Amino acid sequence: MRTIALFTCVIVAGFSVGAFAATEMIHQQGRAFSVESISVKKGEAVTFLNDDTVPHNIMSASKGNEFNLGSQAPGTSTDVTFKEAGDVQVICAIHPRMKMMVKVTD
Amino acid sequence: MPAPGSYRSRILAGTIASAALGMLGFSTIGFGAAVVGESRKVEITQKAPSGIDALKALYRRPASIPFPKDNPYTPEKAALGKKLYFDTRLSVTSAQSCASCHSPGFGWGDGLAVGVGHGMARLGRHSPTIVNAAWSAIFMWDGRLPTLEDQALGPIQSPGEMNMKLDDLMARLASIPEYKPMFETTFPGQGMKAKTLAQAIATYERTVVSERAPFDAWIEGSEKAISEDAKRGFALFNGKAQCAACHEGWNFTNEGFQDIGLPSTDIGRGEYLPGVIKMQHAFKTPGLREISRRSPFMHDGSLATLEAVVDHYDHGGVDRPSRSDLMRPLSLTAQDKADLVAFLKTLTSELEPTAVPVLPR
């Protein structure tokens, strides 16, 4: 019984690793990011929330931290975990005025 | 009962397994080292303009033209830039100027489906207007140039367009006696070089601003300035027809890139962002000022009339992975379409004639 309880706790803990709350929330409203830059530690997640009225395509081509959220619909959020230290330029491919920097530290 | 060692092993294995499950359950990998989680639905509260007056306020004309800090306006610079803009000697054949493809007579375009370049060869895309370029964030249909100064030099050097090497051009301009003192006065200590040539042309282009149209009079309070049809069209533009999702603000563009489903093999912005599906066949959203003078329309000049443009959006275009999520059949009625066209026509001003400058000899 104790084994089952422990195993259950471990399973729950495991899921929470995958779903752990991001430390930073970036909003997208009025075709703009809510901040121009943020600083996060390597391995930390950032949540990109599309609270605008149109889809966005948030992405980065910065080496070591490339990502692409595809077409992110209004009313959805996605976590991005940065694996490498350095400056990450994040843009919306659809709306070129949307630019921000994520500084990833060790 | 299992041995303690075995028990610890099972916990360790379970931890690893469950962590992996967690990752699988909530994560997929992007195209790089960053780890992208699964998207979640979120309850949000949209801030929508309340009422017609709030909506109108979003379209008010700006009070002044923005000029960049590294290329501020001076009257001398704009005047020199105008001479250069209209000077055919900027092309290798001395037959084409900037104004050949961006003519005031055609709403600062050329009135053709696609431009005509060096040797009268047809180009691949429609010549875009330069009206209100001062407010642009990025240049060319595919966004490949970041500033208007870069844009000014692009067509001059392009083999398919004016086909002029910059070194040759500067030597040719230096051989025209009246140009040199103009550059010296306009750019003290810098004189005649490609950088100042680009700065002068871009400064002139920034002064090309759409004039007051009936729409401007209406949003400033003159109710009789536009028809009732056009007022309904404005409501549709911001509502059922969803035009304002991209054609927003006083110049009716957010400078964004969308695949609007035109049946063309040109991948546009996709050439510069090959890994981004939504950029395949995507082109910059043009502003709509002076639109009645700018037919035919679209990046390929494939639609001859505003009616055809509205029909295209009503249909939704070619359904493909890159097509904008905003593009879908709209179910507009014949009256809706007529109202939208009536509204679009209110964005055209009574443009003042542009005087062609006397060129240096």
Residue of B nearest to A49 (CA): B42
Share of chain A above pLDDT 70, in %: 79
Residue of B nearest to A99 (CA): B137
User: What pLDDT score does B47 carry?
Assistant: 64
Complex ipTM > 0.90: no
Where are chain A's structural domains? 24-104
Round to whole Å and give the CA distance between B249 and B81: 28
Stretch B190-210: mean pLDDT, rounded? 97
Asked if the model's pLDDT at residue B348 lies above 80, the reply is: yes
Instruction: Determine the 3-state secondary structure of B125 from DSSP.
Output: coil
Pick B351 or B183 by higher pLDDT. Answer: B183
Nearest to B32 among A18, A51, A66 (CB): A66
Question: How confident is residue B108, by pLDDT bands cut at 50, 70 and 90?
Answer: very high
Residues in A closer than 8 angstroms to B40, CB to CB, are 76-78
B281 is in an annotated binding site: no
**What average pLDDT does chain B have?**
90
Stretch A87-92: mean pLDDT, rounded? 97
DSSP string across B255-305: --EEB---S----BGGGT-TT-GGGTTBEEPPP-TTGGGS-SBSTT--B-S
Asked if the model's pLDDT at residue A22 lies above 80, the reply is: no
Tokens representing B192 are 């005649």
Residues whose CB is less than 8 angstroms from the CB of residue A90 and which lie 6 or more positions away in sequence, other chains included: A33, A58, A59, A60, A99, A100, A101, A102
Pick B244 or B1 by higher pLDDT. Answer: B244
Round to whole Å and give the CA distance between A30 and B355: 39
Round to whole Å and give the CA distance between B72 and B200: 10
Looking at 1.20.140.10, 3.40.50.720, 3.50.50.60, 2.60.40.420, the CATH number of the domain A24-104 comes to 2.60.40.420
From A38's Cα to the closest Cα of chain B, the distance in A is 16
CA distances from B262 to A11, B322, B332 (A): 50, 11, 19
User: What pLDDT score does B43 carry?
Assistant: 78
Round to whole Å and give the CA distance between A82 and A63: 11
Mutate which: B1, B9, B39, B252, vs A, most A CBs within 10 A: B39
Pick B13 or A94 by higher pLDDT. Answer: A94
DSSP string across B177-205: TTHHHHHHHHSTTT-SSHHHHHHHHHHHH
User: What pLDDT score does A32 carry?
Assistant: 96
Instruction: Note the pLDDT tens digit of each residue in A36-88.
Output: 999 999 999 999 999 999 999 999 999 999 999 999 999 999 999 999 999 99
Asked if the model's pLDDT at residue B109 lies above 50, the reply is: yes
Length of chain B in terms of residues written:
361
Inspect the interface and report whether the beta carbons of A57 and B35 lie closer than 8 Å. no
Where are chain B's structural domains? 53-62+211-346, 75-207
Asked if the model's pLDDT at residue B6 lies above 50, the reply is: no
Pick B226 or B49 by higher pLDDT. Answer: B226
- Classify domain B53-62+211-346 by CATH number: 1.10.760.10
Nearest to B18 among A11, A75, A96 (CB): A11
Stretch B129-151: mean pLDDT, rounded? 97
Instruction: Note the pLDDT tens digit of each residue in B214-263.
Output: 999 999 999 999 999 999 999 999 999 999 999 999 999 999 999 999 99
CA distances from B326 to B3, B254, B265 (A): 62, 14, 21
Radius of gyration of chain A (CA): 16
Cβ neighbours of B141 (radius 10 Å):
21
- Classify domain B75-207 by CATH number: 1.10.760.10
Instruction: Note the pLDDT tens digit of each residue in B7-45.
Output: 334 434 433 333 333 333 333 334 556 888 888 888 777
Sign (positive or negative) of CA dihedral B44, B47, B51, B56: negative
Question: How confident is residue A9, by pLDDT bands cut at 50, 70 and 90?
Answer: very low
Asked if the model's pLDDT at residue B68 lies above 60, the reply is: yes
Could you give the angle at the alpha carbon of B151 between the alpha carbons of B150 and B152, nearest 5°?
A: 90
User: What pLDDT score does B32 carry?
Assistant: 56
User: What pLDDT score does B37 carry?
Assistant: 86
Q: Using CB atoms within 10 A of its CB, is residue B47 exposed (0-12), middle (13-18) or buried (19+)?
A: exposed
Stretch B187-211: mean pLDDT, rounded? 97
Cis peptide before B296 (omega within 30 of 0): yes
